[in-house]
Structure formats: C-alpha cells, structure tokens
Amino acid sequence: MHNKKIRKLTLTSVLAALTCVATMLIRVPTPTKGYVNLGDCMVNISAWLLGPVCGGAAAGCGSAAADILSGYVIYSPATLIIKALMAVFSFMIFNLVVKKLHSGAARVIAACAAEIIMILGYFAFETIIYGSAVTASAGIVGNIFQGIMGTASSVILYEAVIRRIPAKNI
C-alpha cells in the first residue's frame, strides 16, 4: 500500500514537470499577451492517468510553474485553478462518456469539455485584469486554437502510445 502512494506521488510530480515543460516548449503569443502551448496535452493526460485529485494537482501546478518561469506571474493563480479544473472535468466526463462510446471518442469529448473550461476561465480572468470583456475577447481565438491543439495532441498521444503501456508500468 505504501509503495502505491509513493508511486502515485512520484507520477504526479513527473507529470507536473512534463506539463511545465510542454507548456514552455512551444509558445505562440496571443493578442492578450498570453500564449498558445502544448501544455493542455499533459493536462488531459494527467487527468486520465491519475484521476481528478492528483491529475488536477499535476495539471495546475505544472502549468502555474510554467507561467512563473516564463514571466507570466500574474496568470499563475488563475492558471493553477483553471488547469486543475480542466483535469477534474476531463477525468469526470471521460468516465461518464466511456461507458457508451469507444475510449478515443470519449477522450475527444472529455478533452473538448476541458478546453471549454480553459477558454471560459481565461476569458473571465482577462476580463477582470483588463477591466473589459471586449479586450479579453481578443484572446478567445488563441485559446480556441490552444484547445484544438490540446485536444488533438492529448487524444492522439494517449490512444497511440500511453494506453498501450501495461498499467503496472505506469
């Protein structure tokens, strides 16, 4: 039992680090001074591998760390919450939908739902920090593009590679 907890804690830490790296690896700036990245790939994968609590922790902490390390410190508290919520919803929706659909289709639906959380979350946060919904709306297109990238990359990577790894090795 003790080994399982250590293994899960270790995997949570590794996925938080991978989320941070994936977020920082490719950054395409958006009009609202944010950036499109590959971090959402790891947000969804963290959720699907670890569940809502540890997956949310890995997703939120890894993404917030990337904001801090990249000079987007003002975004880090919102990112922590938004990315953690994305992981929670991705996990929950996948588990609801997979009972009726193939796992690939269920992952697409779950990832899309998580990306909607991201789009709405950053729109709300940017509306507050910019004091204008009009100004914040400039980031929606970039966030939609990030959502598409996050959905496609997480589903492809999970279905093509990760799900083929025996559970005892994860």
The one-digit pLDDT tens for each residue of the chain (170 residues) are: 578 899 999 999 999 999 999 999 988 877 666 677 899 999 999 999 999 999 999 999 999 999 999 998 999 999 999 999 999 999 999 999 999 988 899 999 999 999 999 999 999 999 999 999 999 998 898 899 899 999 999 999 999 988 777 666 56
Residues 6 or more apart in contact with residue 127 via CB below 8 angstroms: 133, 135, 136
Q: Look up the CATH number of domain 2-169.
A: 1.10.1760.20
How high is the pLDDT of residue 37?
87
How high is the pLDDT of residue 46?
97
How high is the pLDDT of residue 166?
66
Neighbour tally for 135: CB within 10 Å: 14
How high is the pLDDT of residue 27?
83
Cα separation, 151 vs 148, in Å, equals 5
Q: What is the pTM of this model?
A: 0.91
How high is the pLDDT of residue 32?
61
How high is the pLDDT of residue 49?
95
3-state secondary structure of 29: strand
| Nearest by Cα to 19 from 75, 72, 79, 91 | 79
Q: What are phi and psi of 28, to 5 degrees?
A: -110, 115
Helices (DSSP H) in the chain: which residue ranges? 2-25, 39-70, 76-97, 103-130, 133-137, 140-160
How high is the pLDDT of residue 1?
56
How high is the pLDDT of residue 165?
76
